[in-house]
Structure 1
Amino acid sequence: MTTKHPHQILPPVSEPFGRLADGTEIRRWSLGNGGTRLSVLSYGGIVQSLETPDRHGRHANVSLGFGSLDGYLASDGFLGALVGRYGNRIAESQFKLDGTRHFLSAAGGKHTLHGGADGFDRRVWTVHGFARGGDVGLILTLTSPDGDMGFPGALRVRVVYTLTASGAWRVDYEAVTDKPTVVNLTSHVYWNLAGESSGSALDHELSLAASRMTPVRTGLIPTGRLAPVAGTPFDFRRPTPVGSRIDADSPQLRHAGGYDHNWVLDKGVTATPRPAATLRDPGSGRVMRVSTTEPGIQFYSGNSLDGSPVGSGGRAYRRRDGLCLETQHFPDAPNQPAFPSTVLRPGEAYRSSTVHAFAVT
């Protein structure tokens, strides 16, 4: 395997990208480092594009997205977005904390999905660019008021997107609260390492550093068990084509229409990012290695992509044209006492980091 040589640093610059119905201007920030080019919107903290070279040095956008703000406003697929306050699902849109039951905004049926109907993916973030040492990046901030989507406590959030000199994209999340609450932040980028308009991602080879997963019941809510992946279509401990077993006769695959499950990373919660996943596109040679401090990773195989709206490359995104690798605490942890806790209390700081390192073979 070869890694990319350093390229010229492109400091962050911004330009208008559109306006919301209330007149709020949305801006697109663009930056580059180490051969990777990144474009981010102030709306939803969305990664609109991430370009990286293939084995021949040809750049392509490997993240699914739209060419206009209208595309994001019309889509409910969370493409490229920061999601919160709680990434993934909370059963029955409620949880109990310190004896008080909190009722949340439902999204995705009767359960809360990615923070509710008006989650962080639909908020306007304050964005500032920076360049320090050999890194360039963006600082995104947002304050979520007490009671927002039913969650207790005013939550102040800071997310830093960094492009390193080697071309890695690092995401650092921080949050503090003034009341006990639950927090689980993540990024919902859809990846296709062949290029966002290239079609199916089923031939991508995936490995996950996880010997267990959390089985789900109807509604994709975890049962509470940690099930071994050995001998099942969920065993990605060795590089395996995404599509090789996706339509196997498995109740778990039928629940989700493919993969949409949380893998329990063998490393657990760590102070610094440790290896979690490797994704490779054989055709282009592009490789992405994901490291994280989080204990879980949600592998979603793009089962609900439905061809609308048309993507930034001019092609409609169809079922399984991209996949997500969402580093996280486990779904429904507020209702599952055996899962790693997502409770955040006043005086504490929520911190989470994930690194996406790119290479070619």
Structure 2
Amino acid sequence: MKVRTDVLHVAGRQLKEYTLINANGMEVSCLNYGGVITKIMAPNSKGDFENVVLGYANYDEYIDNPHFFGALIGRVAGRIQDSSFKLNGKNYSLQSNNGAHHLHGGTTGFHKVIWQTETFEYEDAVGIILVHRSPDGDGGYPGNLAMKVTYTLTNDNAFTIVYEAIADQKTVLTTTNHSYFNLSGNLKTDILQHNVQMDASRFVELDHELIPTGRILPVDNTVFDFRQGHAIVDGVHSVDQQNLVALNGFDHYFIFDHNKKENLTITDSVSGRTLTVKTDQPGIVMYTSNALNDTVELREGKSSKYLGVCLETQSSPASLEHDGFPSILLEKDEPYKKTTSFVFKTI
């Protein structure tokens, strides 16, 4: 178990890349810039270690990172309708960086921050602590926010992210990680044949701008029903209006039932890799990279549509507009703590 630190010169900045290495040889690499996960080396059923996340070939691309590859997202993950919200009778205006709407904290969000870092090495775990103080009014959000994120890799091949925060006034917060997973290894294929099983009987309806309509729909008798498991490609071929508005795929918030130990499991039968997600978050946005095109140079080659799947565990920004959605409100001096584990195994 160890942490390797490399100093990088990226677009005129000196950054650090940390690589967490467990006793099995699994590796997770991340930057202090944006907390970006640049690479995860996980074994297939034959014991071969290959990269299972999307990452830029040229690290300079992480500075803008329009696709949010591997990044920490905040203060609010997802879209805030019309880039504004009301809190305690006051209107707050945010940057419109997704049409008329605010997406993933805007262009000054957590993915653009150089985080303060501290590494740790224990007998059964290695990791890194990332700390950032976001001032009152940062990006338009109220409150001074103290943020801490901990990445931990164990010998069980579990990569865990713990998000902690506290604010000095009532505010809004829901954080996540925006890694694109591809279990084929070194991007051999797309993710369309990946099988997803998810403990969720409800999902959120979207309009043509991918903004929640306020309706929470049952998954019954739709391709959004992953309770028994099926391939991602089913949503691509679907004529369901909800798949069509998402550019023929999934970009939806699923609300977990929390009836099972695992919230979600993805399996690639060819490589034999499985990825299990366990979280205390109320739900997840599963995005199947429907808007990704072939203009991005990745470590293994050109990007393409359906090359990765994002598993964004979080609450719902729609709670600012509609009742019945998992809230993103954070009270003054209320501790915020959320945990998500990504466990890699083979079949």
TM-score tier by shorter-chain length is over 0.9
- d(CA) in 2 for partners of 1:223, 1:300: 18
Instruction: Please say if residues 262 and 331 of structure 1, whose CA atoms lie closer than 8 Å, have aligned partners that are also in contact.
Output: no
Say if 1:71 and 1:309, in contact at 8 Å, map to a contact too. Answer: no
Q: In structure 2, what residue type is equivalent to 1:28?
A: E
- Whole-Å separation in 1 of the counterparts to 2:186 and 2:34: 20
Match of 1:6 in 2: none
Rounded to whole Å, the distance in 2 between the matches of 1:57 and 1:331 is: 41
User: 1:271-322 CA deviation, whole Å, 9 max, x = no partner?
Assistant: xx95211000111000010000001111100011112321112x11100011
Matches within 5 A, 1:211-230: 211-230=201-220
Contact 2:27-2:41 within 8 A present in 1 as well:
yes
Please tell me whether residue 28 in structure 1 is matched to residue 39 in structure 2: no
Deviation at 1:20, TM superposition (A): 4.2
Question: 2:102 is matched with which residue?
Answer: 112
Give yes or no for the alignment of 1:194 onto 2:184: yes
For residues 90 and 244 of structure 1, the distance between their equivalents in structure 2, rounded to whole angstroms, comes to 29
What CA RMSD, in Å, does the superposition of the two structures yield over aligned residues? 1.5
Structure 2 residue aligned with 1:276, among 243, 263, 278?
263
Q: Secondary structure at the match of 2:266?
A: strand
Q: Secondary structure at the match of 1:157?
A: strand
Question: Following TM superposition, by how much is the alpha carbon of 1:227 offset from its aligned partner in structure 2, in angstroms?
Answer: 0.6
- 2:281 is matched with which residue? 294
The answer on whether the counterparts of 1:36 and 1:168 sit within 8 Å (CA) in structure 2 is: no
Q: What is the identity percentage for the equivalent residue pairs of Structure 1 and Structure 2? A: 36
SS in 1 for 2:147: strand
Shift of residue 218, structure 1, vs aligned partner: 2.4
Larger CA deviation: 68-77 vs 91-100 = 68-77
Deviation string, structure 1 residues 87-124 (Cα, Å, up to 9, x no partner): 01110001111111111111211111101122111111
Q: What residue ranges of structure 1 are gaps of 5+ in the alignment?
A: 1-8
Aligned pair partner of 1:346 in 323, 327, 332: 332
Equivalent pair of 1:78/1:121 in contact (CA under 8 Å): yes
When structure 1 is superposed on structure 2, of 281-290 and 74-83 the one drifting more is 74-83
Q: Where does structure 2 lack aligned partners over 5 or more consecutive residues?
A: none
Q: 1:245 to 1:256 in 2, by over 3 A?
A: closer
Does 296-305 or 330-339 show the bigger shift? 330-339
| Corresponding residue for residue 114 of structure 2 | 124
- For residue 240 of structure 2, what is the aligned residue in structure 1? 250
Contact 2:212 2:318 in 1 (8 A): yes
Deviations 1:30-68 (A, max 9, x none): 121144201101111000000110000000000100233
Aligned pair 1:356/2:347, yes or no?
A: no
Query: 308, 311, 321: which one pairs with 1:325?
Result: 311
Question: Which residue number in structure 2 is paired with residue 100 of structure 1?
Answer: 90
Amino acid across the alignment from 1:340? P
Letter in 1 for 2:253: N
Structure 1 residues 135-154: aligned runs within 5 Å? 135-154=125-144
AA partner of residue 112 (structure 2): R
Displacement, 1:159?
Answer: 0.3
- Determine if the alignment matches structure 1 residue 334 to structure 2 residue 324: no
1:266 and 2:267 matched: no
3-state SS of 1:43 partner: coil
Q: What is the deviation of 1:69?
A: 2.0
Q: Distance in 2 between matches of 1:153 and 1:68?
A: 36
Greater alpha carbon shift after TM alignment, 351-360 vs 244-253: 244-253
Matched position secondary structure for 2:243: helix
Larger deviation, residues 199-208 vs 11-20: 11-20
How far residue 247 of structure 1 moved from its aligned partner, in angstroms, is 2.6
Task: Report if the CA contact (8 A) 2:200-2:257 is conserved.
Answer: yes
| Residue in structure 2 matched with residue 5 of structure 1 by the alignment | none
Q: Distance in 2 between matches of 1:343 and 1:274?
A: 26
